[in-house]
Amino acid sequence: MHRSAALLFVLFALPAVRAADITTPAALPPACSGFQWDVQRELTLLQAPALAVAAGATAQTAPTLALERHYRVQLPAQDQVRLAARPGKPMLEDAARAGLLAFDVPRAGDYRIAITSGHWLDVVDAGRVIPSRDFQGQRGCPLVHKIVAYRLPAGRLLLQLAGGADAEVGVVIVPAADG
């Protein structure tokens, strides 16, 4: 009987522990709490393990990113990259890094892109830069440098990073929960 009771405890307690681990986000650093938008999803994803990818040097070699996934992107030297469009804000830093990433938007709507570096980012659709709607950053937040909001059309788009010195950048793309 003693053995049966212990087995029942393990069978019922273990799923509860696993569910709590999955649904409870990690505590955020205090400096990441001052955003005007609800950016909990972006910050939680940026704390998750990242999938390493190398950015493309052309639109044809751009790897495809999935939405709601954290990527650690390696960027080549900017002078080795053929950008898909003129950057919305050209930045000419010595040793600048750049790269192209593709992603699919299943439904037209509001999306946000979070990055961990100071690179300029543009979303490009058929050679045309889609203007951003807004952006936010939180000084001192170690998880993210900026989050940029866009209204995007459905289809395959390019994310273009340019002008920053960091050779590696964390990237997350999510549907905007608060529009």
**In which residue are the tokens 């898909």 written?**
84
43-66 tens-digit pLDDT: 999 999 999 999 999 999 999 999
Q: What is the pLDDT of residue 15?
A: 39
Q: How many CB atoms lie within 10 A of CB 67?
A: 13
Query: Residue 63 burial (CB < 10 Å; 0-12/13-18/19+)?
Result: middle
Q: What is the pLDDT of residue 33?
A: 80
120-176 tens-digit pLDDT: 999 999 999 999 999 998 778 888 999 999 999 999 999 999 999 999 999 999 999
Phi-psi region of 127 (alpha: psi -120 to 50; beta: other; left: phi over 0): left
**In which residue are the tokens 């990113």 written?**
65
Residue 3 has pLDDT above 90, yes or no: no
Residue ranges covered by each domain of the chain:
3-175
Assign a CATH topology to domain 3-175.
Jelly Rolls (2.60.120)
How many angstroms separate the CA atoms of 23 and 93, rounded?
A: 42
